Structure 1
């Protein structure tokens, strides 16, 4: 039995209010709790700061606008909400534009997260904040995509040629672009997990039509991931960042609430990829933080796993309790989310030695031979933490 239990974790009223407001529909019981918290002496500046930090400002305004909240606070939230809405419309328009260009070039492109997730999981483009457009393509098409984006005024994160270009495409998962005029950022992905994740097998999202679905956007249909695959990717992404942003857990909760899930298929795939514990931690976080309702059999299986419960406590502690955390504590969580020992070893090697996309961008690693870059990556990890 783990000694870590949720009653030992104290969450301040502002964070409690933020969690209650991170929903698209409020039940009567939730409204009572929100009203009770509002009547307390809240630190509104702290609440807004936390909402911004966790990318939940849109949902906070959406739900607080009908309550007796200080006018100055509502004005600040409303301004943010409306600005984000305009930005999201711009991003959606740009997504549809580049997808059309990719299609004309014979490129299979699958957008996910961003406006697609806002519409698919939240059914409202304005209720989710996103910073960029994520589009998945085949590795062989990356350079063709780059050519198209550059012709549209986008600038690549950095230039790579020859041997370093081949090494970059093999070792990394994404290439970032920005349009200086519109400030629209696009991330082109050719594999979903970060460089620190090792899989027991590879998922073919583009080759298998059953792994995708059609989503209606502005009277048009675009291809995106199926509900089950979207869920897998959201869990992998959130776990790679140790679930440090509440919006990532909220996304998972909203996706499940909005669509039917083939749970048998999901857990079979998770077992195949070696990420069953990643899924369980994500689900238990969504249950505890956002009142996600799961099938009894799924919930019983998750709650019976003491290792999962212990990891959930540690994640919640990272989110809600300030304090220093060293690299060994982070590694404890990161490595123990993998149930397979060989995957843990591979992940550890990747974390310590495999240069990240950021390091390719900001350092001279892209200009030197791999053995040296591995050593420098190892040094950078300990310098950062």
Structure 2
């Protein structure tokens, strides 16, 4: 692929070969933009200057602060008998990188049942969080076209995204039975609830696909998840077919292999023609830092073709229109 002629190709080659790179200012910027710098530092893939060491220490400190907050919330939710899952973030970092500090995380993502939004809202207020989208939690139209709200604790500098469903367009992840989608993991001798392996992989694939994999960290996460977790691939295929999400799943798994050397089942090694077109769109945009009109048009075409079916395409356009209107 032609993107190997771009600086980002050096990062990809380093990940694939596990060989260190000589840093330039341009590569440092790329590592930060794609949130890969902690991973490169932890795995000795780049020089550890004093500034780099300081960056890694600060990132680890922030991630442990996030994790301690998760433990507080875990206890508060348990007392109220509230089902929840931690999405991505520091818990995923521990799961797949075996280190809380090896992944750069912006916030804490909580998935809850929609019926518990008000109870969780009150818990967060008691922990000195405030709702950033004022009054939107009670707005039914907002809840229909969006899937989360954000809370900020200004003193602790922690942001939480509270999800009542994984994605705005429900058909990408329609299952909401926590007994089916959840499992417990042990982190620092604490039980934390997360998506089980199959649903977690599906979530990571859909999440990255919906962002058009604009950050390499999302592809690396999928590759590391495949490498470190036991996955029932038959179940992945069954769910993908049932939810009609074969295309984003196939694309994501292929990219994890192509860019990060993940070992994948034969069924995903040769995507169909429509999926290959989406893959090529992702690969062409990966080195492109510009977000101009041409990019936005290609992104719209990409989204419309992410799933088959008139209902999905109509919902995609409808959701974009109403989201722009509400915002």
Given the two structures, how large is their TM-score scaled by the length of structure 2? 0.92
Q: Check conservation: 2:250, 2:268, Cα contact below 8 A.
A: no
Unaligned 5+ residue runs, structure 2? none
The alignment status of 1:19 with 2:47, answered yes or no, reads no
Q: What SS does structure 2 have at the residue aligned with 1:355?
A: helix
Distance 2:283 2:83 in 1: 39
CA drift of 1:155 comes to 0.8
- Is 2:42 the counterpart of 1:62? yes
Q: CA offset at residue 234 of structure 1?
A: 1.0
Deviations 1:306-361 (CA, angstroms, capped at 9, x unpaired): 2222221210110114554243211111111213343122212212x1216xxxxx
Q: Does the residue aligned with 2:53 lie in a helix, a strand or coil?
A: helix
Give 1:95's match in structure 2, choosing from 61, 70, 79.
70
What are structure 1's unaligned runs of at least 5 residues? 1-5, 24-29, 357-372, 378-385
Which one of 217, 227, 244 corresponds to residue 187 of structure 2?
Answer: 217
Counterparts of 2:222 and 2:172, CA distance in 1 = 23
Q: Distance in 2 between matches of 1:315 and 1:201?
A: 22
Change (3 A) 1:260 1:201: closer
Q: Which residue number corresponds to residue 146 of structure 2?
A: 172
Q: Deviations over 1:353-378 (max 9, x none)?
A: 1216xxxxxxxxxxxxxxxx37xx7x
In structure 1, what is the equivalent of residue 240 of structure 2? 270
- Cα distance in 2 for partners of 1:354, 1:161 equals 14
Q: CA deviation at 1:201?
A: 7.6
| Matched residue, 2:277 | 310
Q: More deviation in 164-173 or 115-124?
A: 164-173
Q: Check whether the contact 1:58–1:81 (CA below 8 A) recurs between aligned residues.
A: yes
Conservation of the 8 A alpha-carbon contact between 1:179 and 1:185: yes
Q: How does 1:194-343 map to 2 (within 5 A)?
A: 195=168, 197-199=169-171, 202-206=174-178, 209-296=179-266, 298-300=267-269, 303-323=270-290, 324=292, 325-343=294-312
Does residue 355 in structure 1 map to residue 323 in structure 2?
yes
Please say if residues 153 and 179 of structure 1, whose CA atoms lie closer than 8 Å, have aligned partners that are also in contact. Answer: yes
Assess if the C-alpha contact under 8 Å between 1:136 and 1:191 holds in 2. yes
Displacement, 1:161? 7.3
Whole-Å separation in 2 of the counterparts to 1:76 and 1:201: 41
Aligned in 2, Cα 1:183/1:161: closer, same or farther, shift over 3 Å?
closer
Who is 1:362 aligned against?
A: none
Q: 1:168/1:130 Cα in 2 relative to 1: closer, same or farther (>3 Å)?
A: same
SS in 1 for 2:150: strand
- Match for residue 368 of structure 1? none
2:136–2:142 contact (8 Å) kept in structure 1: no
Partner of residue 135, structure 2: 160
Change (3 A) 1:213 1:20: farther
Counterpart of 1:213 in 2: which secondary structure? strand
Offset, 1:20 = 4.1
Native 8 Å contact 2:172 2:206 kept in 1:
no
Q: CA deviation at 1:21?
A: 4.4
Deviation digits for residues 128-185 of structure 1 (CA, Å, limit 9, x no counterpart)? 11111111111111111111111111111132179x5333333321121011110011
Q: 1:127 aligns with which of 89, 99, 102?
A: 102
3-state SS in 2 of match to 1:110: strand
Displacement after TM superposition at 1:263 (Å)? 1.0
**Equivalenced residues, count:** 325
